[in-house]
Structure 1
Amino acid sequence: MQETIIISLGGSLIVPDQIDIDFLKSFKTLILEHVAEGKKFVITTGGGKVNRTYNEAAKKITNPSDVDLDWIGIAALKLNAELLRVIFSEYAHEEVIANLSTRFPSNKPITIGSAYEPGHSSDYDAILAATSLGAKKLINLSNINYVYDSDPCTNPSAKKIEQISWADYRALIPKEWTARLNSPFDPTAAEAAEKEGIEVVIMNGKNISNLKKCLNGEKFLGTVIS
């Protein structure tokens, strides 16, 4: 049976400011190396700068609800998902899968997923994919190296965490999702992952060589939540 790897690809890697062409080229090369070894992938995408730009515009003009902001975010990540689907071209399923909670086609080695409802980030959609396929491990790629015991942007003394339980991780983050919440792995997704017994790796996707180690089953830099 082919191994299926679930990846939640943060929008900050796809569109940190402008679309990161160099990163996407390197990411494509690495994934296709593993496809050649017989592995399959489900990749969900975040919204990145596109989401932030449109969210901020909406808030400057009116007073949008969190649900409305989520819908803008869903549109942004769908755009990023279509970009990924085209990048992987003949290796990817011909349509982006919005609803990953039900059995979805997997006739190609790569499936790109997006989202279909508000109330969570794309992390949760990756968990839905893992649950649908019976996968027990997920790789979350963003622009941070580890989970920390506090926000390293505001606390220079924040300590990195290499291994943590779901209970301890959930104690570090807000209990509920809000639009544009900045959390290594969102609360809704964390609750679902704990319930399903899914292990999540948090790592910096910009470090392609480190991601390669993770995919090869070697020692890597990052946080494992289980």
Structure 2
Amino acid sequence: MILAHLPFGAAMIIILSVGGSMVNPGKPDQAYISSLSQIFKNSPHSFGIVVGGGKLAREYAEGERKKGKGEFWADLAAIRATKENAGLFLSHLRGICCLNICDDFIQAHDALQKHRIVLMGGTIPGITTDADAALLAECIGAKRLVNVSNVDGIYDKNPAAHKDAKKFGTLSFEKLVSLAQVQDTRHAGGHFIFDMLACKLIARSKIESHFVSGKNLEDVKNAIEGTRHNGTVVR
């Protein structure tokens, strides 16, 4: 059942996919987490926040590979890292956030009936937290998703490797899928703009999606509100 009402008089339910590198680039960035949390506190909206694993997930996954374990076990280790990163928000959102890190989409759906904010990490091996965020958006019927990462939008090629990379201001769902097609390696802790499954999910449900740099908090706020920002809008 899609959520029939919004708790606490919230205007919308917004889904965020927050890159793990933003909150834990090597050690937890409590100042950044506090600043991002303040945006959520000051907003009238409800939030489903899915947090990635970043460097910690890559380290955990590689640790499993060094033990001779396969990608399933690397994924499980990476999921553990995502939940640890999600837990970093709890002390900053006390009083308005469900105090349990939700393990699945139905649990998050139900928690949003009682709380203005719910937190998730990864769910099952084989999919990224971007796909988890897209699935959560579908589960609760959210109309807007915001991807917060260390990249300031979607480019036609990797901007870190190509100085002539072009950033898109707006994209169709179809174009996003075609761009993701060459970047989805399915390796735990890999670098995606937004993996293929996530792209197809937001496309089939026509979920307006905003891609912004987490370093620009004004852009994050504007993306949440659906107003103009310096990133990329997919619709």
**Alpha-carbon shift at residue 28 of structure 1 (Å):** 1.2
C-alpha RMSD of the superposition: 1.7
Establish whether residue 140 from structure 1 lines up as the match of residue 147 from structure 2. yes
Q: TM-score, normalised by structure 2?
A: 0.88
1:88 alignment partner AA: L
* Cα-to-partner distance string for 1:83-114 (whole Å, 9 max, x where unaligned): 22232112111211111156422211111112
* Cα-to-partner distance string for 1:43-95 (whole Å, 9 max, x where unaligned): 01001221122223333x33332221111110000111222223211211121
- 1:25-64 to 2 correspondence within 5 Å? 25-34=34-43, 38-59=44-65, 61-64=66-69
2:186 alignment partner AA: T
Establish whether residue 17 from structure 1 lines up as the match of residue 26 from structure 2. yes
**Alpha-carbon shift at residue 116 of structure 1 (Å):** 2.3
Q: 1:70 aligns with which of 71, 75, 96?
A: 75
Is residue 140–residue 201 contact of structure 1 (8 Å, CA) maintained in 2? yes
Is residue 93–residue 110 contact of structure 1 (8 Å, CA) maintained in 2? yes
Establish whether residue 8 from structure 1 lines up as the match of residue 17 from structure 2. yes
Establish whether residue 85 from structure 1 lines up as the match of residue 101 from structure 2. no
Structure 2 partner of 1:108: 115
From the superposition, tell whether residues 216 and 196 of structure 1 become closer, same or farther in structure 2 (CA, over 3 Å).
Answer: closer
The alignment covers a number of residue pairs equal to: 222
Gaps in structure 2 of 5+ consecutive residues? 1-5
**Alpha-carbon shift at residue 177 of structure 1 (Å):** 4.9
Is residue 14–residue 24 contact of structure 1 (8 Å, CA) maintained in 2? yes
Is residue 138–residue 205 contact of structure 2 (8 Å, CA) maintained in 1? yes
Gaps in structure 1 of 5+ consecutive residues? none
* Cα-to-partner distance string for 1:112-167 (whole Å, 9 max, x where unaligned): 11232111111111112211211121000000001110111111111111111121
Q: 1:97 aligns with which of 82, 99, 102?
A: 102
